[in-house]
């Protein structure tokens, strides 16, 4: 069996949490039985509860596309929101996150509740308003998930960047490289400097699909699926609102959210569309950035 590499091991995790090896086995055993149209890579594990510090259930998200950047981002946001007693939203606490071979596993708090619907639009909008105000960790200024990683966002082909960006300047240079490579000569280059000076990097929920929000038993909104969350210049959230998930629910939520105005949507859309004929995010990469390409 390939070795397990633990990335997050929370001190507050339940005392009855199984070992990573046991979790892997249970995911393989239970995964096919719990698959639904809205759940293809998550499993509810029921635990044996022996004390008040034990948990009855945990939720495990796992798979080849489950990355540790998602786990670190969810962990940071959950702790940030838990420190805000009156927050309009919270996130499931991360107990354990690890990799095994090419697969990732995120073991988190199980939320007993229901997926949100159209009657919850106002509450979800308030939750999103809170989420986009979350600043990036003081330890990093790189765009993307906490600790580094590819960016999942509708700007990119298949909603996922090909490389990690180590700075906003690299991300900006790539977008401008796309505009140059696709000969969008009539479109000005993007410049994120002014909005970063005013707002900094902000949490960007790039997929406002209703299935990514749940209401718990206390009628509180829970943000789910942090794969589509990164810390990015605010224009990326404006882009996601306008060109992201094309559903009535998303548009109703978007109409209620106040976000920093963006002057970069035009060139960003031109660059994003410029990638489409090539079905590749590698267009416009400098030689230095192209060296980071790898198969994910």
Summarize pLDDT for 20-44 with one digit per residue, the tens: 999 999 999 998 888 877 777 899 9
Summarize pLDDT for 125-181 with one digit per residue, the tens: 999 999 999 999 988 889 999 999 999 999 999 999 999 999 999 999 999 999 999
Does pLDDT of 245 surpass 80?
no
Burial of 122 (0-12, 13-18, 19+ CB in 10 A): exposed
Contacts of 225 (CB under 8 A, 6+ apart): 61, 207, 211, 212
Contacts of 179 (CB under 8 A, 6+ apart): 187, 189, 190, 267, 270, 271, 274, 284
Q: Is residue 94 within 8 Å of 149, Cβ to Cβ? A: no
Question: Whose CA is closest to 61, among 41, 31, 39?
Answer: 41
Domain ranges in the chain? Answer: 4-110, 120-293
Q: What gap in Å lies between CA 232 and CA 236, rounded to an integer?
A: 6
Q: Which two tokens stand for residue 52?
A: 């008040």
Summarize pLDDT for 178-213 with one digit per residue, the tens: 999 998 767 899 999 999 999 999 999 999 999 999
pLDDT at 156: 98
Provide CATH code, domain 120-293.
3.90.1200
pLDDT at 137: 94
pLDDT at 57: 96
Summarize pLDDT for 212-233 with one digit per residue, the tens: 999 999 999 999 999 999 999 9
DSSP β-bridge partners for residue 232: 202
Q: What gap in Å lies between CA 242 and CA 100, rounded to an integer?
A: 37
Count other Cβ atoms within 10 Å, centred on residue 290.
13
Summarize pLDDT for 64-119 with one digit per residue, the tens: 999 999 999 999 999 999 998 789 999 999 999 999 999 999 999 999 999 999 99
Which 3 state secondary structure label does DSSP give 215?
Answer: strand
Bridge pairing between strands 221-223 and 89-90: parallel
Q: What gap in Å lies between CA 244 and CA 5, rounded to an integer?
A: 34
Does pLDDT of 295 surpass 70?
no
Count other Cβ atoms within 10 Å, centred on residue 187.
18
Summarize pLDDT for 3-18 with one digit per residue, the tens: 999 999 999 999 999 9
Which 3 state secondary structure label does DSSP give 8?
Answer: strand
Taking phi over 0 as left and psi of -120 to 50 as alpha, with beta for the rest, 279 belongs to left
pLDDT at 294: 67
- What is the pTM for the complete model shown? 0.94
Q: Is residue 272 within 8 Å of 155, Cβ to Cβ? A: yes
Provide CATH code, domain 4-110.
3.30.200
pLDDT at 296: 45
How far is the CA of 183 from the CAs of 267, 269, 271, in angstroms?
Answer: 12, 14, 10
Report which secondary-structure segment, H or E, holds 235.
helix 235-243
Q: Which two tokens stand for residue 140?
A: 């990093």
């Amino acid at each position: 069996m390939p070795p397990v590499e633990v990335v997050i091991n929370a001190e507050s995790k339940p005392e009855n949490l199984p070992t990573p090896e046991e979790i892997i086995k249970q995911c393989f055993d239970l995964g096919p039985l719990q698959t639904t149209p809205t759940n293809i890579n998550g499993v509810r594990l029921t635990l044996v509860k022996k004390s008040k510090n034990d948990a009855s259930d945990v939720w495990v998200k796992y798979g080849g596309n489950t990355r540790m950047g998602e786990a670190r981002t969810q962990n940071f946001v959950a702790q940030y929101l838990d420190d805000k007693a009156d927050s309009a939203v919270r996130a499931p606490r991360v107990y354990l996150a690890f990799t095994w071979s090419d697969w990732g596993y995120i073991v988190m708090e199980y939320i007993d509740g229901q997926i949100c619907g159209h009657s919850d639009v106002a509450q979800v909008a308030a939750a999103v308003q809170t989420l986009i105000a979350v600043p990036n960790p003081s330890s990093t200024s790189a765009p993307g998930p906490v600790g580094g990683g590819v960016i999942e966002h509708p700007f990119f082909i298949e909603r996922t960047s090909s490389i990690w960006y180590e700075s906003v300047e690299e991300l900006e240079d790539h977008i401008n490289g796309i505009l140059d490579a696709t000969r969008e000569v009539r479109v000005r280059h993007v410049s994120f400097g002014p909005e970063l000076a005013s707002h900094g990097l902000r949490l960007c929920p790039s997929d406002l699909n209703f299935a990514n929000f749940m209401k718990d038993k206390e009628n509180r909104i829970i943000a789910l699926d942090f794969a589509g969350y990164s810390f990015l210049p605010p224009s990326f959230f404006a882009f996601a609102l306008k060109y992201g998930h094309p559903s009535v629910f998303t548009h109703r939520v978007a109409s209620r959210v106040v976000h920093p105005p963006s002057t970069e949507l035009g060139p960003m859309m031109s660059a994003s569309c410029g990638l489409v004929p090539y079905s590749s995010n590698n267009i416009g990469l400098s030689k230095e950035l192209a060296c980071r390409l790898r198969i994910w």
